């Protein structure tokens, strides 16, 4: 159930992690949710009433794909990058998400402009403000910039442009 096309070449070597004790193959850069979906595993947890929940939004906005990662409950499978040897467990029915065990030390900053969101619009605004001389700080909930529009396909390289594109 992975995307396949003559124009895409997987990069890196396949590895495995476990989900509820079952070995799951994954590619570098894939999320846990993508690797599980590729294996046909769609129910990642169940509600207190027994209703299945799984990959819904795929971008970290909902809470349907919660799993336990290496003992940390309440992780969104669509936001966790798969890694060799990870131990992933489905969340027990009706389990509330625990609060973080520790609060990270805060760093105080006072930029001229705070941009919330490192998607295309946020990055464009930050670049223009910096060009105008402002000290800019960009905050985003994700570990890499780009937002949903610039999200690359995990672990693949696109084929070189077709002949028409190369000719201009």
* Residue tagged 């595993």 (tokens): 41
Quote the pLDDT of residue 11. 77
Using DSSP's 3-state secondary structure scheme, residue 92 falls into coil
Type and span of the H or E element at 114: strand 113-116
Cβ(87)–Cβ(18) under 8 Å? yes
Q: How far apart are CA 58 and CA 62, in angstroms?
A: 8
Q: What separation, in Å, do the N-terminal and C-terminal C-alpha atoms of the chain show?
A: 35
The domain 8-90 having CATH identifier 3.10.20.440: the answer here is yes
Neighbours of 64 (CB within 10 A): 20
Tokens of 92: 């027990």
Q: How far apart are CA 92 and CA 48, in angstroms?
A: 9
Predicted TM-score (pTM) above 0.85: no
Q: Is the per-residue pLDDT at 63 higher than 70?
A: yes
Q: Could you read off the pLDDT of 26-41 as tens digits, one per residue?
A: 999 899 999 999 999 9
Q: What are the residue boundaries of the structural domains of the chain, listed by start?
A: 8-90, 113-161
């Amino acid at each position: 159930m992975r995307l396949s096309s003559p124009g895409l070449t997987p990069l890196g070597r396949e590895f495995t992690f476990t989900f509820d004790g079952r070995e799951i193959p994954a590619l570098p850069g894939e999320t846990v949710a993508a690797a599980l979906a590729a294996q046909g595993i769609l129910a990642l947890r169940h509600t207190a009433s027994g209703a299945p929940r799984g990959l819904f939004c795929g971008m970290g906005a909902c809470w349907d794909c919660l799993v336990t990662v290496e003992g940390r409950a309440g992780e969104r499978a669509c936001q966790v990058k798969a890694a060799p040897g990870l131990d992933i467990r489905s969340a027990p029915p009706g389990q509330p998400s625990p609060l973080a065990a520790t609060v990270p030390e805060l760093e105080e900053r006072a930029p001229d402009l705070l941009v919330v969101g490192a998607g295309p619009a946020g990055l464009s605004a930050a670049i223009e403000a910096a060009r105008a001389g402002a000290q800019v700080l960009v905050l985003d909930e994700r570990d890499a910039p780009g937002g949903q529009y610039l999200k690359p396909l995990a672990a693949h390289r696109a084929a070189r442009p077709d002949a028409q594109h190369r000719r201009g």
